[in-house]
Structure 1
Amino acid sequence: MKKLLGLISIVLIFTLVISACGSKKDSAGDNITVKIGILKNVTHAPGFVALQNGYFQDAFGKNAKIEVTAFDNGSDFSTAMATNQIDLGFVGPGPAINQYLKSKNFRVISGSNNGGAVLIARKDAGISSVKDLVGKTVAIPTKGSTNEISLRLLLQQEGLKVSTDTSGVQIITRAPADTLVAIRQKEVDATLIPEPWGTQMVQEGIGQVLVDWDKIPPNDGNYPLTILLASDDFLKDHRDLAKKAIQANLDGIKFIKENPDKAYDLVSAELKELTGKGMDVKLIKAALDHLNLTDEVSLDVIKTMAKVSFDAGYIKGIKEDELDLSKFIDSSLLDEVKAYK
């Protein structure tokens, strides 16, 4: 009899344990805080729309808390991702590649946007071609940024070198808003900058497009400019929520494509929440017209970017043949999301 009671007790305990585990899985989004990072760029429009339309909240569940952190540049974002200050978010591949090769504790789980940066020359700087940039100063948002990678590739194509004197092209860093002011005040000669800043300079009559977005390398504008990342810890503990984040990104892309006019106001509203100031709808429209919204991420293009960063000295501590990005992109979650639909 004692043996029978003991057996029953074991079965009951086992059942309770299994039940508890099942409950935890079923309520993965309940009472959890998900920390999302995003840059204050219109090129992150799918993320903006997903936040404004509540796609993340709906996906994670009404009891989930979402904390959004806005970043001025991809370097700060990537550091935050590597140190688990954020769980997932949108960023450019340049800084993410550099940080990944150091920490290797996060992954690309989806694309969001390809292209959307332009090379602008100050109107009175005497620049009519890329070769005219010799001896000039060109601004990029931050060191190691995707925009700098594109600029270096562009200069390589024209046989130009980067230098700190007038023998080549001088690259300096300025936040996009500061670059606009610098162009107005004739402090810089040109800039490779994400939209809609380029369009704004053209509309103000202070700049002209030297290389349009669909001719910017690599791959003539069809390169990842905004990707969705998630930390390894988040993927390990909340793979289901990571897939729901991918779905929110896909829903954002779909909404913009199907409802562009409605998307303009949503993007402006999210910018206002992130920066305290919205943006003229005409500028947002110009920016979205220059984006290729897609969930695809090309590993070959990513490898090209990594090589440029390595040659520029941003990737240290490893040899060129150790630029292993084979696990940088994890497409399995995106594949599962698409297969489920």
Structure 2
Amino acid sequence: MNKTIYTSLMIVVLMLALLSGCGSSDAGSEGNSESADSITVKIGLLKNVTHAPAFVAIKKGYLQERLGANVKIEVQSFSNGSDFSTAMATGQIDIGYVGPSPVINQYVRSKNIKILSGANNGGAMLVARKGSDVLSVKDLAGKLVAIPTKGSTNEISLRLLLQEQGLKVTTDKSGAQIIAMAPADTLTAMKQGQVDAALLPEPWGTQIANEGIGEIVADWNQIPPNKGNYPLTIIVSSEDFLNKHRNLAKSVLLANEDAIQFIHDNPDDTYSLVNDELKELTGKGLDVELIKAALEHLNLTTTIDEDALKTMAQVAVDAGYIKGVSPDGLDLEGLYDLSLLKETQEGK
């Protein structure tokens, strides 16, 4: 009888130990139950071909594969980086693809956003309306030049381009006048002779040139800083999401690398993928040849050029977009967390 009781007790102890072990396994590597419970990751992006890695990561399933079957992905698209940054600051999105200038502005205001990786360098160009008499950057004096939004990465590049030629941004004919309008509206305004030139992300510049509305004045590889080799599309995360879900953030970076590699290896297959995603985001696709031409103007890379971003940030300070910062008091040290990118590059 005593032996029977002892055997029964040992069975109970073993069962409890097994159950305890299962519970430890379900806790997840981050201690936030990610491996046991479903979680929603809200990803933001802009509706531009310059965000091609994001489109491919979605369409090829790289994001879902890297994040795991228990993760629900919600994609939110934005027309400009300012709206993206506001959405991240208010918790509407967790992580995503955007241009750097709105991110820098947001960081200076709140310190609650982090740059994690690059996605694309360059991919904007300066085009001038036919009949505007703008044949070079110097001819922009006294002209009206459009950019997508105030304080955008494209405006910062335009200001640098003007500085290189000794031109100022003014509100009268003594210098270049800048106006903000959506790229589609810029195309219409050019047709109607209301705008002289524009610095736009692809594929808008190529489209304006292809339709005979305007001509390229400064191609993508002439746009400052670094003659087109500057961060135009980066991956950022809210600090809260990064602190709670570093493994998920890392998974997004891995999916981004998967997508960039696919685009490099399979350019012909990429065009339809980008077009399909654009149709879903905007309700309208693009001519495949236009997407092909636009992608040829992108330098897809995960590298982050901090010096280029500092140069662009300083222009934003001088232009008054970053408030409360002295001309020499800009500190971006806490803006970056490139540790996860380093891990992915080292195969960890």
Alignment TM-score, normalising by the size of structure 1: 0.93
Look up the SS of the partner of 1:255 in the other structure: helix
The correspondence of residues 191-206 of structure 1 with structure 2, limited to 5 A, is 191-206=198-213
The one-letter amino acid of 2:295's match is L
The correspondence of residues 233-272 of structure 1 with structure 2, limited to 5 A, is 233-272=240-279
| 1:15 CA displacement | 9.9
Look up the SS of the partner of 1:321 in the other structure: coil
Determine the structure 2 residue equivalent to 1:224: 231
Determine the structure 1 residue equivalent to 2:344: 337
Determine the structure 1 residue equivalent to 2:38: 31
The gaps in structure 1 that reach 5 residues or longer are 1-11
The gaps in structure 2 that reach 5 residues or longer are 1-14
Look up the SS of the partner of 1:37 in the other structure: strand
The one-letter amino acid of 2:317's match is F
Report the Cα distance in structure 1 between the residues aligned to 2:331 and 2:25, rounded to whole angstroms: 37
The one-letter amino acid of 2:148's match is P
Choose which of 48, 64, 67 in structure 2 pairs with 1:41: 48
The one-letter amino acid of 1:23's match is D
The one-letter amino acid of 1:316's match is K
The one-letter amino acid of 1:75's match is S
Report the Cα distance in structure 1 between the residues aligned to 2:245 and 2:267, rounded to whole angstroms: 32
| 1:268 CA displacement | 0.3
Choose which of 109, 113, 116 in structure 1 pairs with 2:123: 116
Determine the structure 2 residue equivalent to 1:102: 109
The correspondence of residues 1-341 of structure 1 with structure 2, limited to 5 A, is 20=23, 22-25=25-28, 28=34, 30-340=37-347
Poorly superposed stretches of 4+, deviation over 3 Å:
12-22
Moved more, 70-79 or 316-325: 316-325
Moved more, 38-47 or 180-189: 180-189
Report the Cα distance in structure 2 between the residues aligned to 1:270 and 1:40, rounded to whole angstroms: 9
| 1:164 CA displacement | 0.7
Task: Specify the structure having the higher radius of gyration (Cα).
Answer: 2
Task: Go from structure 1 to structure 2 and tell me whether the alpha carbon gap of 1:243 and 1:167 turns closer, same or farther (over 3 Å shift).
Answer: same
| 1:186 CA displacement | 1.0
Percent sequence identity over aligned pairs: 62
Task: Go from structure 1 to structure 2 and tell me whether the alpha carbon gap of 1:13 and 1:173 turns closer, same or farther (over 3 Å shift).
Answer: farther
| 1:320 CA displacement | 3.0
**CA deviation map 1:70-98 (0-9, x unaligned):** 00000110111122210000000011111
Over the residues paired in the alignment, what is the CA RMSD in angstroms?
1.8
Look up the SS of the partner of 1:340 in the other structure: coil
Task: Go from structure 1 to structure 2 and tell me whether the alpha carbon gap of 1:116 and 1:31 turns closer, same or farther (over 3 Å shift).
Answer: same
